[in-house]
Amino acid sequence: MMYAVAGKTKWRALLSTVAVSLLCAFLVTWAIYRFSHAPLSQVTAIPDRVAAKTFGKSSNMTAIVHKIVSRIPVPAPEIPDGIRTLRKQNRKGTRAYLLGHLIEGGFWYFFFVALAVKTPLAVLLLVALGTGVVVARYLRNRSDWESAAPLASTIVIMIVTMPSRIDTGLRYVLPVYLFLSMLAGLGVVTLWEQREHRMLGRATAVLLLCWLAVSSALAHPDYLAYFNEFGGKDPSRLLVVGDLDWGQDLTRLSMYLRQNQINHISIAYEGFYDPDSLGLPDTVKMKCGDFASGWVAVAARRARRFPECWPWLPRQHRVAIVGKTMWIYHLENSSRLIEFRPFFIQTALSLPRSGVQAKPTLNQHNQGASPLGDTGLCREGSTFDRYWSPFAEIPNVNRESTRKGVRDRRDGSLRHTNVGT
């Protein structure tokens, strides 16, 4: 569109360049997938369905079509499969957290806020300067469309992601940093080549670059949990999913427990982890609605996204923060917290042990049933649950210990017998 507005007429040369670029991009992408391939019939069932609907399921033409599509190779079949998976997840949506607010689905401005708080301020200032230069140039000369291409690409990516219902991290718009880097580089060049106030312009460029270097160095080793100065002391109040907590502090938690000689811990964490391999002591994996006494570690991601699971948590004194994401508490007596149980947990624990069968949905939750049906994709401990845990979060009133913890769901009481001190 910008090419047409610029009055360019060399469409053949443009199309040739685009074709070569697409071919190179395809080969590079295919190489990433190790030049994998699969028959078309395994990638999609559309040809077989169309043939069966047109010629009939038992016709010879349908059999011929099936033989043909079974022999046509499709490169990188993981790509269309991943697109289908992502489309299903987007339709389902996730519980999104942003700036202290929760919503089922997504915020249209999520990625704008994520860019604003996850990008170094020095880069944002340089991007703003480069954007101003690009806009001014383009308004003066519409034929200079190449210099405006990075800005146009950034705008397109952000607009396309606005309807997304998967607000689980800045990684979904990661390519935008390529174009932001171009704009920031233009900002540096503009400051350096200032004719008026030359020394001021160069000093500003050097100051911003030093600011960027220092802020990056200070982020070590928590690069994943990096937030700029807008994040403050507790960036979890802004963002938590994907941009702050991916379980990187579980190892630090193990070190903290050993240093403080804590032999028993209850952990409320969203994803999969193996306490033994991490060197954790006697560990209880807390589910939504569980109550504990003694030492408790709650992941910031879990606490922010599911406040109804532990409504008593804000009333408790936070002893320490391990790393950036693990909140440490010491609870004296769990019986004092019973009055704050969510309604659905009170209902579940009040069901008789026999004579009255629990509601099917709650029973399925207790068994770790998948919200996607009987596919088994989201059952606890499955591969899907390990890597896509945001889509397998179901309130669960079970309590389990990896070693000596005691479970009791008969009357809703909480018992501890030799679970450590």
Tens digit of pLDDT for each residue in 402-412?
Answer: 333 333 333 33
Tens digit of pLDDT for each residue in 293-321?
Answer: 888 888 888 888 888 888 888 888 888 88
**Can you spell out the DSSP letters for 287-306?**
PTT----EEEEEEHHHHHH-
Give percent of the chain above pLDDT 70: 77
Contact predicate 295/334, CB 8 Å: no
> Is residue 212 over pLDDT 90?
yes
pLDDT given for residue 352 in this prediction: 43
Q: What are phi and psi of 300, to 5 degrees?
A: -60, -35
Rounded average pLDDT over 27-36: 93
Cα–Cα nearest to 235, from 101, 117, 106, 94 = 117
pTM: 0.68
Task: Tell me which of 93-102, 193-202, 214-223, 328-337 is least confident.
Answer: 328-337
Of the pLDDT bands very low, low, confident and very high (cuts 50, 70, 90), residue 391 is very low
Rounded Cα distance, 265 and 371, in Å:
29
Burial code of 101-119, b = ≥16 C-beta within 10 A, e = fewer?
eeeebbbeebbebbbebbb
Helices (H), 219-274: 250-259
> Is residue 362 over pLDDT 70?
no
Rounded average pLDDT over 59-63: 87
Domain ranges of the chain: 2-92, 94-231, 245-421
